[in-house]
Structure 1
Amino acid sequence: MQAIIALLLIAGVSAVLKDYMLASAALLLVGVCLVRYAPVTAMLQKHSFHVGIFFLMVFLLFPLTNSKVDILGTVKQLITPLGIFAILMGFAISYIGGKGVGVLSTQPVVLFGVLLGTLVAVLLVKGLPAGLIIAAGMVALIQLATPS
């Protein structure tokens, strides 16, 4: 029941702040909680991350389908300082995000902390929820570096 109330609260605040995608996601999960059909719940939990990453990759690769993009020219620009910096940042952030996935599933306090921070950013300053995994990865790296 706590999950349904939290999800309804997220959906309501999201709708008021006109973030209909977040509101829709929260309402979908309210439906999942209400139905409690284990196979659907397990399937959504198991595959939603990978499906989301797939569609993110489609979005990122889509400019290649546009004839306005000069692929050879863009590849040449990868050896410029900006291109090299972009490669390094892509590597670093992907590495950090990879660390974050493990933390999200094993440490509820990190999950809810970065979720709350992400929700506030999405709802109040037009942030993107992609930061959640990266934030969790940063927490994981700090935990590794901090003596217990």
Structure 2
Amino acid sequence: MDGELLLVGLVVIGLIGRSRNVTTSACILLIIKLLSLDQLLPVIERRGLETGLMLLTIGVLVPFLSGKITKKDVASIFTSPPGILALAGGALATYTNGTGLQLLQAEPHLIAGLVIGSIFGIVFLKGVPAGPLMAAGIAAMLMMIKDFFFG
């Protein structure tokens, strides 16, 4: 029952913070629970991140196939300062996401803090929702900085 209450809380937080992903995900899990399809939960837990990342990657690659990104666009990435900085930003972001994935695998309970922190950022800092991997990656880096300075 505690899990269901937490998910209802996440639905409310997602609605307040206008985070469709959090709201929809929590609702889907509640529906799975209400329909007594608990046998799906281990599969979702084991393959959910992998499947989500694959779908995200497909979405990012569509502009290559649709012609919105051309060979000329790709060439300019390697020859212009903004393009080179974009390459560095992409590399740093994926490293950060990987660090976040490791943190979430080691300490899955931190997702509640990431979601609530994201909602605070949306509401009070006028931010835009970030994915949980990026939020976890930033949290992991903050933890590394804390450990470096404070042991």
Q: Does the pair score TM above 0.5?
A: yes
What is the RMSD computed on CA atoms of the aligned residues?
2.7
With over 3 angstroms needed to count, the CA separation of the structure-2 counterparts of 1:38 and 1:65, relative to structure 1, is same
CA distance in 2, matches of 1:18, 1:87: 30
CA drift at 1:121: 4.2
Q: Aligned to 2:39, what secondary structure does the other structure show? A: helix
Q: Determine the C-alpha separation between the residues in 2 that align with 1:77 and 1:42.
A: 45
- Which blocks of at least 5 consecutive residues in structure 2 are unaligned? none
Distance 1:113 1:12, change over 3 A: closer
- Decide whether the 8 Å contact of 2:8 with 2:26 is kept in 1: yes
1:143 aligns with 2:148: no
Question: 2:75 maps to what in 1?
Answer: 76
8 Å Cα contact 1:14-1:22 kept in structure 2: yes
**1:23-74 per-position Cα deviation (integer Å, ceiling 9, x unaligned):** 22111111334456553110011111111111111111111122343x2211
Query: Identity, % of aligned pairs?
Result: 18
Residue correspondence of structure 1 range 46-85 to structure 2 within 5 A: 46-69=46-69, 71-78=70-77, 79-85=79-85
Q: TM-score, normalised by structure 2?
A: 0.78
Structure 1 segment 19-30 matched on structure 2, within 5 A: 19-30=19-30
On the 8 A contact 1:103/1:137 being kept in 2, the answer is yes
- Count of aligned residue pairs for this structure pair: 146
Shift of 1:15: 4.5
The aligned runs of 1:128-139 (5 Å cut-off) are 128-130=129-131, 132-139=132-139
Structure 1 residues 59 and 74, CA, compared in 2 at 3 Å: closer, same or farther? same
- TM-score w.r.t. structure 1 length? 0.79
Which protein, 1 or 2, shows the higher relative CO under an 8 Å CA cutoff with sep ≥ 6?
Answer: 2
CA contact (8 A) 1:122 1:129 kept: no
Q: Is the 8 A contact 2:13 2:116 kept in 1?
A: no
2:50 aligned with 1:45, yes or no? no
Distance 1:41-1:16 versus aligned 2 partners, 3 A rule = same
User: Residues 16, 87 of structure 1: CA spacing in aligned structure 2 closer, same or farther, 3 A cutoff?
Assistant: closer
Matches for 1:49-128 after TM superposition, within 5 Å: 49-69=49-69, 71-78=70-77, 79-108=79-108, 110-121=110-121, 125=126, 127-128=128-129
Q: Greater CA deviation, 47-56 or 111-120?
A: 111-120
SS of residue paired to 2:129: coil
Specify every segment of 5 or more residues in structure 1 that has no aligned partner in the other structure, as ranges.
Answer: none
